[in-house]
Structure 1
């Protein structure tokens, strides 16, 4: 089995930046602190509210890239027990996720006592909670118990979908070449996502809607294994640009940019060497914990400032900045006391998600 570096600094940097944008997007989009602070920097708050959400594409692409690296570095599925790999993936995602949901429910209950705002999730029902535990809330049409929990469900679907494709390729490709069959199957589904499913938001609770971005990461990883990597990367670029000319989607443009950055970084030896920063590496390491916990913390601070602080733009801007920093601090604590202890005993594929 191919040995991997414990950390990939270039990916760490992408994750650290993308995570900050996601936190700021939720702070700008959900308010009410940002509603009051908006007048101080209207263009910035509008951009964060409407466009910073595209940073999630970085995690989708990174997730596919790392899944290919972990599951099938040469294009052939390594695991002899795909269902065991899927079970480990579920437990790795869900163990801290469930703890974060409990914290989110508590923070939402406190927020309801302090303010009335449409950003507060409704009181949960038992079926709704069960759907979240099974990562089926989007498919079954339930409101998310916290902002961003949809991503956890989609991440699991995407991992399962790629794992299934690689397993099928191994079953079908004994004579024709397993790696070729797997790449063709992944590329075919990516094209279907790019040209059809991703153009229809009715599919956004299903992995096929996001598979174009995820597959960009996986296909980029496999392309950079080849001697003529530049030609394969160019083919990916041309295919995606053609789709954007047909129907321009900023999220796909961002996904393409991230994929090409990863491809070039790997080909030129940057992926594992730059940038060297303990801060960036730490932010990347705790990224999943921060992602899980940041919205409840932001919601709680919004409620406190709504109830006890004056509605002055400057004061509310301080609240926004405080919520940002508190999210990082809470995520660090959550990582050390919940996620990290909970993940002990889980073996590879470890780095198969954009966050983890």
Structure 2
């Protein structure tokens, strides 16, 4: 049975490739550089525009895998209090998130006067800033301050829902009894995964809530237990059943990607040579800082878009080069955010004070905003 680990080079590489796909999806989706460069590679641009976002499913599966390792690696909750576990998760997510939002608000204010394009966020209102800071923007009907930040809010919801499931399982009498080598908590996760894959994920109006995405997240959790099991056949059969029925009921490419990713993790991490492989170092390093790159890349791409499309708005080649420059700068800024903020959170109290400072600075930068 392979040792449990939340940090392996292979997982970091998977996160890195998903991160690259998301950054290029947003480069294709948010012009105007992509609009100008489109004639050079119309098929590639169209694919990135339409299908690049499916890489989010990879993040969801990996997040579920890591959540299982954190919350219940042996099928029983190992945290003491729901609020404490969720609070730690919020702090970890929200500190670099607040820093990235601050940069996005500043860049948006800088380019707004001279770049008239739908990709430029409007001047934020006070309620919008507060909702985004608390990761509630989609739930209260406020616009997001940056591209892709909806995922951070969903990640927190998914973690909170998972922790709630494990807390409920612990309160029900008989949770120490195992049926078919599956604990009650694991059974509840399987049921929630089925409900999401078969029902909730087919309701687009629920896409601001965790239940819409729990299918991919739950498959990731199941993949962790499959990796740790003495025999993985039962878990793999269950994953195939959940995903296969979902695809028969309503084929969705995102669910297929989630299913293949979860099965791929099981196969790779149960293979000794792949599990012990140190990977391709640049991809491993990118995977480690992928969250920071994900957070900061929109601000970088927005600034490069403004400069390149304004100076060379008739040159497809230079705008394509500008997209490449934006990608490289996104990696560089992500590295700065990773080392300067994400890794420097010694305690949740320090993190909360730091977050409040970033929010205050963001409000100052947002003046003049449309106060509501």
TM-score by length of 2: 0.89
Runs of 4+ in 1 over 2 A off after TM superposition: 2-7, 173-179, 223-228, 269-272, 274-278, 343-346
What is the match of residue 18 of structure 1? 18
Q: Could you tell me whether the CA contact under 8 Å between 2:13 and 2:279 is conserved in 1?
A: no
After superposition, where does 1:132-171 map in structure 2 within 5 Å? 132-171=132-171
Separation of aligned partners in 2, 1:190 and 1:50: 26
After superposition, where does 1:278-317 map in structure 2 within 5 Å? 278-317=281-320
Q: Could you tell me whether the CA contact under 8 Å between 1:157 and 1:206 is conserved in 2?
A: yes
What is the Cα deviation at residue 311 of structure 1?
Answer: 2.0
2:224 pairs, out of 221, 226, 230, with 221
What is the match of residue 331 of structure 1? 334
What is the Cα deviation at residue 279 of structure 1?
Answer: 1.4
Separation of aligned partners in 1, 2:94 and 2:147: 16
Residue 331 (structure 2) pairs with residue 321 (structure 1): no
Residue 209 (structure 2) pairs with residue 233 (structure 1): no
Greater CA drift, 308-317 or 44-53: 308-317
What is the match of residue 208 of structure 2? 205
Residue 269 (structure 2) pairs with residue 266 (structure 1): yes
Q: Could you tell me whether the CA contact under 8 Å between 1:37 and 1:314 is conserved in 2?
A: yes
What is the Cα deviation at residue 5 of structure 1?
Answer: 4.7
Separation of aligned partners in 1, 2:38 and 2:298: 19
Separation of aligned partners in 1, 2:347 and 2:342: 12
User: Aligned-residue CA RMSD in angstroms?
Assistant: 1.8
What is the match of residue 130 of structure 1? 130
Stretches of structure 1 lacking an aligned partner (at least 5 in a row): 347-356
Matched residue count:
345
Separation of aligned partners in 2, 1:60 and 1:198: 14
What is the Cα deviation at residue 175 of structure 1?
Answer: 5.1
What is the match of residue 248 of structure 1? 251
Q: Specify the SS of the correspondent of 1:198.
A: helix
What is the match of residue 59 of structure 1? 59
What is the Cα deviation at residue 36 of structure 1?
Answer: 0.7
Stretches of structure 2 lacking an aligned partner (at least 5 in a row): 349-372
What is the Cα deviation at residue 136 of structure 1?
Answer: 0.7
Q: Could you tell me whether the CA contact under 8 Å between 1:82 and 1:163 is conserved in 2?
A: yes
What is the Cα deviation at residue 107 of structure 1?
Answer: 0.8
